[in-house]
Amino acid sequence: MPNFKTTNPTDQSFLSEYSFHSLSEAFEKIREFSAFQVKWKNQTLESRAQVIKKLAHQLRSQKETLARQATLEMGKPITQSLSEVEKCALALEIIADLAVQNIQEKEIKAHYKKTAIRPEPYGLILSIQPWNFPYWQALRMAACAWMTGNLIVLRHSVEVAGCAELMEKVCEVDGQKFLLNLRLSHADTAEVIKSFLIQAVTFTGSTSVGKSIAQLAGASLKKCVLELGGSDPYIIMPDCDLEKSVQACVQSRLINSGQSCIAGKRFFIHDQVFLEFKKKFKEAYEYYKIGDPLDPETQVGPLASAKFLQTLLDQTKRAHYAGAKLDWTRFELPKTGNYTQLGILDFGSSLKVFENEEIFAPVASLYRFTDLEEVIQCINAGPFGLGAGIFTKDFELANQVSKKIQAGTFVINSYVQSDPRVPFGGLKESGIGREMGVEGLHDFINWKVVGQD
CA 290, CA 312: separation in Å to the nearest integer? Answer: 17
Residues 435, 95 contacting (CB under 8 angstroms): no
Q: How far is CA 3 from CA 22, 160, 308, in A?
A: 11, 14, 22
Alpha helices, H only, 323-394: 372-381
CA 398, CA 376: separation in Å to the nearest integer? Answer: 12
DSSP state of 42: T
CA 245, CA 396: separation in Å to the nearest integer? Answer: 18
DSSP string, 230-255: --EEEEE-TTS-HHHHHHHHHHHHTG
Residues 410, 439 contacting (CB under 8 angstroms): no
Q: Which residues of 412-434 are buried (b: 16+ CB within 10 A; e: fewer)?
A: ebebbebbbeebbbbebbbbbbb
> Which among 128, 192, 178, 122 is positioned nearest to 156, based on CA atoms?
128
Tell me, what amino acid is at 57? H
What pLDDT is stored for residue 176 in this prediction?
Answer: 95
User: According to CATH, where is 3.40.605.10 located in the chain?
Assistant: 3-228+427-452
CA 258, CA 304: separation in Å to the nearest integer? Answer: 11
Pairing of strands 3-7, 14-19: antiparallel
Tell me, what amino acid is at 169? K
The yes-or-no answer on residue 227 being catalytic is: yes
pLDDT tens across 373-400, in order? 999 999 999 999 999 999 999 999 999 9
**Residue 181, phi then psi, degrees to nearest 5:** -90, 120
Q: Give residue 286's Cα distance to chain centre.
A: 27
Pairing of strands 124-129, 151-156: parallel
What pLDDT is stored for residue 1 in this prediction?
Answer: 66
Counting Cα atoms < 13 Å in the Cβ hemisphere of 445 gives: 24
Pick the CATH number of 232-412 from 3.50.50.60, 3.40.309.10, 3.40.50.970, 1.50.10.10: 3.40.309.10
What pLDDT is stored for residue 57 in this prediction?
Answer: 98
**The residue count for the chain:** 453
Helix (H, G, I), strand (E, B) or coil at 389: strand
User: According to CATH, where is 3.40.309.10 located in the chain?
Assistant: 232-412
Contacts of 186 (CB under 8 A, 6+ apart): none
- The sign of the dihedral angle between the CA atoms of 408, 80, 74, 138 is negative
What pTM does this model have?
Answer: 0.96
Q: What is the CA radius of gyration of the chain?
A: 23
CA 74, CA 259: separation in Å to the nearest integer? Answer: 10
What pLDDT is stored for residue 353 in this prediction?
Answer: 86
The C-alpha torsion from 259 through 138 and 262 to 60, rounded to 10°, is: -80
Q: What is the distance in angstroms between the CA of the first residue and the CA of the last residue of the chain? A: 57
- Class of 3-228+427-452 per CATH? alpha beta
Query: Of the listed 144, 171, 240, 261, which one is catalytic?
Result: 261
Contacts of 31 (CB under 8 A, 6+ apart): 197
CA 164, CA 187: separation in Å to the nearest integer? Answer: 20
Residues 192, 155 contacting (CB under 8 angstroms): yes
Query: How confident is the prediction along the chain (453 residues), in pLDDT tens digits per residue?
Result: 679 999 999 999 999 999 999 999 999 999 999 999 999 999 999 999 999 999 999 999 999 999 999 999 999 999 999 999 999 999 999 999 999 999 999 999 999 999 999 999 999 999 999 999 999 999 999 999 999 999 999 999 999 999 999 999 999 999 999 999 999 999 999 999 999 999 999 999 999 999 999 999 999 999 999 999 999 999 999 999 999 999 999 999 999 999 999 999 999 999 999 999 999 999 999 999 999 999 999 999 999 999 999 999 999 999 999 999 999 999 999 999 999 999 999 999 999 888 888 999 999 999 999 999 999 999 999 999 999 999 999 999 999 999 999 999 999 999 999 999 999 999 999 999 999 999 999 999 999 999 999
> Which among 261, 223, 259 is positioned nearest to 409, based on CA atoms?
261
Contacts of 380 (CB under 8 A, 6+ apart): 404, 405, 406
The yes-or-no answer on residue 249 being catalytic is: no
pLDDT tens across 231-267, in order? 999 999 999 999 999 999 999 999 999 999 999 999 9
Query: Of the listed 227, 355, 357, 435, which one is catalytic?
Result: 227
